[in-house]
Amino acid sequence: DFRCKTPISKRFTFCKINTMGSQTMFLKCNNITKLFGGLAALQDVSFEVEDGEIRGLIGPNGSGKTTLFNVISGVLKPTEGKVMFMERDITPLSPYNICHLGIARSFQIPHPFKEMTVWENVALGALFGKDQSFSDEEAKEKAKEIIDFVGLQVKDDTYPGELTAGGLRKLELARALATKPKLLLADEVLSGLSKKEMQEASMILKRIRDEMGITIIWVEHIMDVLMDVVDKVTVLNYGALIAEGTPEEVANNEEVVEAYLGKE
C-alpha cells in the first residue's frame, strides 16, 4: 500500500498532486471545547493531522491531552465543536463505532484483563477491531505477530501480572494495534520506563508508522524523546492550543518554554 508506507518526508510530490484535486484531511478537530462544571479542560481547540504523520501532543499535566483523546475516541462528547475523521463527522458516534472506523488508543494507565493471558488480551483486540472475519485460531496467530512486533517476550501462558512496567506499555500498544487502526492515539507510553526502555518504545512507535502505515498522535508531558521522532508538535496549556510546528520551532517557542518552566 503505497499511500500508507511512504514516510511523510518523502510524500511531498504525492501531497502536491493531491492538492490539485479534492484534498481530504485525515483528522480534523474543529473548535473543541470540553467543560467539566466550571473548568474548561479544552478551550476552542482546532487542529489537523495528515495521513502518515506522527504528531506529538504535549503540554504540562492537566493541560487537556487525555481529555482530547477521550473526545476523539468518543469516550467523552465535547461541549462544543466536532471531530472529522476521513471526511466524516464522528462526534456523535459511540467509542465502539469509532474504533471500527479505525481509531484505536492505548491508555495512560494500562488496564489489561488480568485473568486472561497476554496473547488472549491481544487477540481480544483483534476480535473487537474492524475485521470480524477472524476465527479464534487466526486471532491467536495475529495476536502473536503483533506481540512479536512490539517486542514483547512472553510464553503462551504468561499473564499480564507477570509483566514489567515496560511490558505492560507494550501490551497496551499491542492491544490497540490488534484492532487494525488507521489512527493510533498513544497516551504517555513512556511513563514509568527507564531511559533505555523509552528509546525502545519511541522506536516501536516509529516502526508502527513506517512499517504498518498507521498515523499516530502521541501524547507525552515530557518532550525530549518524543521530539526526535515526531513530524510536528501541537502544544496544549490550560486546555488551549498555544503552539504548533516542527519540534525545533516548538522547542524555541517562548510561550511553550514558559508553560513548562512555570509548572515544573
Binding site for ligand ADP (CB under 6 A): 36, 39, 41, 59, 61-67
Q: Which is nearer to ligand ADP, 42 or 152 (CB)?
A: 42
Question: How many binding residues for Mg ion (CB under 5 A)?
Answer: 2
Min dist. Cβ of residue 184 to ligand ADP (A): 17
Min dist. Cβ of residue 263 to Mg ion (A): 14
DSSP per-residue codes, the chain: -HHHHS-GGG-HHHHHHHHHS-PPPSEEEEEEEEEETTEEEEEEEEEEE-TT-EEEEE-STTSSHHHHHHHHTTSS--SEEEEEETTEE-TTS-HHHHHHHTEEEE-SS----TTS-HHHHHHHHHHHSS-TT--HHHHHHHHHHHHHHTT----TT--GGG--HHHHHHHHHHHHHTT--SEEEEE-TTTT--HHHHHHHHHHHHHHHHHH--EEEEEESS-HHHHTT-SEEEEEETTEEEEEE-HHHHHT-HHHHHHHHHH-
81 binds, among ligand ADP, Mg ion, none (CB under 5 to 8 A by kind): none
One residue of 56, 63, 66, 217 binding Mg ion per CB under 5 A: 66
61 binds, among ligand ADP, Mg ion, none (CB under 5 to 8 A by kind): ligand ADP
Min dist. Cβ of residue 109 to Mg ion (A): 9
Min dist. Cβ of residue 15 to ligand ADP (A): 30
Q: Residue 188, Cβ neighbours under 10 Å: how many?
A: 19
62 binds, among Mg ion, ligand ADP, none (CB under 5 to 8 A by kind): ligand ADP
Q: Which is nearer to ligand ADP, 51 or 220 (CB)?
A: 220
> What string marks each residue from 26 to 65 as x (binds Mg ion by CB under 5 A) or -?
---------------------------------------x
Are the beta carbons of 209 and 176 closer than 8 angstroms? no
Q: Which residue is nearest to Mg ion (CB)?
A: 66
Sign of CA dihedral 199, 234, 91, 133: negative
Cell for 74? Answer: 468518543
192 binds, among ligand ADP, Mg ion, none (CB under 5 to 8 A by kind): none
Min dist. Cβ of residue 92 to ligand ADP (A): 20
59 binds, among Mg ion, ligand ADP, none (CB under 5 to 8 A by kind): ligand ADP
| CA dihedral angle for residue 220, residue 224, residue 230, residue 233, rounded to 10 degrees | 70
Q: Which is nearer to Mg ion, 15 or 109 (CB)?
A: 109
Min dist. Cβ of residue 81 to Mg ion (A): 19
Min dist. Cβ of residue 230 to ligand ADP (A): 17
Residues that bind Mg ion (CB under 5 A): 65-66
